Every structure is written in structure tokens, then in C-alpha cells.
Amino acid sequence: MTRVGPTVEQDVRTRTTWWSLPRTVDPRVVVLAWASFVVEVVLIGTGGLVRLTASGLGCPTWPKCTTDSLVSTPEMGIHGIIEFGNRLLTFVLVVVAIAMFLAVVRMRKTRPELFWLAFAQGAAIPVQAVIGGVSVISGLNPFVVGLHFVVSAVLTSITAALVYRSVNGPRVRDRIVPGWYFGVVRGTVAAVAVTVLIGILTTGSGPHAGASERVDGGAVHRTGFDTQLMEHLHAVPAYATFALTLVLVIGAVRLRLSSRIALLLLVVEFVQIAVGLTQARTGLPVGLVGTHMVLAGLLVAAMTAVVLSTRSSAGRDAVRA
């Protein structure tokens, strides 16, 4: 009788394990979590590119690019390519989100936080797509476009939480920081939220409308707010966020907690403020405005990690050194 050698049996088991859905967090889950986060940040960047190159109406209809074509046509030029490219990248996020959900679907009872985070990510994508369509149909109404970015920020937070929880394990105990420290964290969350929201309104009042004119030939609508006034209003919660984050870093050192994540948040804020001040003083160049938008997504992600780090995880103690 022919016997199957151990090497062949091991190879069969390996292939079966690889193609079967995970029951526990393995490298596939971690990679997909990181992929979800990276693609979302890239989408913020490409969305900014669409706006800053005046390609927002490069595809003047939705869900098709034109009334007769699903994809961009040569007659639409570079604006059509940029806008359709951004839409196409959404399908990449859909594929990654489906893969992420399948990777954790068998962990609904053992790792429910991963299951529901992956579910939330998938559920938010069609909402985001519809809002994007409404923004095109409305001729890039700045408030609709702003809502589009709000959902992107929420998705960035969700995917950042996916990464954190897949790497550090589930929460197993209550918070492991003092009450006053957690209060500062909550205050910082509020400051970040206000900073991002006012930043969206500031951009909506500025010169980068997303297109030079509407499909009907009229000017693209802006919020009507005074841009310089909005810039000053935007700076107030931004500086408050920076000050509160300094308190978090100093408090972590005094309490002998790991300050790495709080330091990361501080670095992102420092770069964000530097870029914001520079763009305001140099006439809002498109490169700096786009960088500012991507940094806003990273700011939300870092803030999410700080919140999650205030509670212990099963994989390792996420706060204590």
C-alpha cells in the first residue's frame, strides 16, 4: 500500500489552513486590518486630489461617469480620469472590506469587537458612495462634500480600531488610567472632533471648490463664510487639541505609563499645525492643502488609538510599559 509521506500531509494541512476562514486572529487578519486602514487613508488623499485639481465634476453623473458610459471617456480629459480613478479605488476598499469581514466572521463570539468593526466598515462604504453621488448631483454642494469627508473620518477611525484590536487583542479589563487622565482623553477627543468639523467648513469656504464651474455653467457654490475668519476659528480648537495632548504626554510620563501613542498623536498634531500655518500664509497651495487633508485622517486615527490604549488588552498591556 502506498503511504503518503509526512511532507505531503503537512503540505495538505497547510493549504487547508490557509484557505479556511480564520477562527483566531492570525497574520491574515492583521494584514487585512492594515490594508483596510491604508486604503482608507489613500482614498482621503485621492479625494483631496479630485477636489484640488478641480476634477470633482470630471464625471458629471452618478453612478455612471456619463449618461452613456460607466467609465471615463477620452473627451473628458484628465479631470475625468482623476474622478473615475477615485471612484475605482472605492471598489478596492470594498474588496478589502469584504475580505476583512470574512476573515473575522467566524470570530463573532470569540472576538465580537472585530466582527462588529468589520461590519461597520462594510456598512459605511455604501453610505459613503451615496453621499459622493449626491455631491456630484448637487453640483459639489460644500456641505454635502463636507459630509463626505466626515464619513471618511469615521471610516478611518473604524479601520484604525481594527488595526489596534487585531494587534493588541480584545479589552479584558476596565480602563487602567486614572479618572482625571481619561477625562483629559475625552476632552481631547472633543477638541479633535471640533477641529476637524471647523476645518471642513473652512475648506468649504476657500478657493478649492472641486471644479471651476457646474455642469450648467454656473459657479460652484461655496459656504459663504469668511475664509480668514474661519481659519482663525479653526486654529482655536487645533491649539486646544495640541495643549491637551501635551497634558496626556506629560501625564503618561508622571504616571509611568507608556507615552508612545500619545507622542504619536502629538507629532501628527505638530506637523498638521505646521502645514496649516504654512498653507494659510502661502495662499493655500494645492500640495499643502492635500497634505493637510491626509493628516486630518491620521489625526483621527491616532486619537482613536489613544482612546483604545486607556484600557488593557488581552494580547498585551497596551498602556503600561
Quick: pLDDT tens for 193-250.
999 999 999 998 888 877 776 666 667 788 889 988 999 999 999 999 999 999 999 9
Kindly tell me if the per-residue pLDDT of 29 is higher than 70.
Answer: yes
The x, y and z cell numbers of residue 267, run together, are: 507629532
Q: Are 148 and 132 spatial neighbours (Cβ–Cβ below 8 Å)?
A: yes
Query: Is residue 201 in a domain?
Result: yes
Residue among 150, 172, 158 at smallest CA distance from 101:
158
Domain count, the chain: 1
Q: Domain residues for 148?
A: 23-313
d(CA 302, CA 46): 20
Query: Is residue 15 in a domain?
Result: no
Query: Is residue 8 in a domain?
Result: no
Residue among 111, 88, 89 at smallest CA distance from 35:
89
Query: Is residue 49 in a domain?
Result: yes
Query: Is residue 79 in a domain?
Result: yes
Query: What predicted TM-score, i.e. pTM, was given to this entire model?
Result: 0.88
Query: Is residue 10 in a domain?
Result: no
Query: Is residue 132 in a domain?
Result: yes
pLDDT value of position 314:
65
CA–CA distances in Å: residue 253 to residues 71, 168, 257, 260: 54, 21, 6, 10
Query: Is residue 289 in a domain?
Result: yes
| Top-confidence range, 233-242, 251-260, 277-286 | 233-242
d(CA 296, CA 148): 14
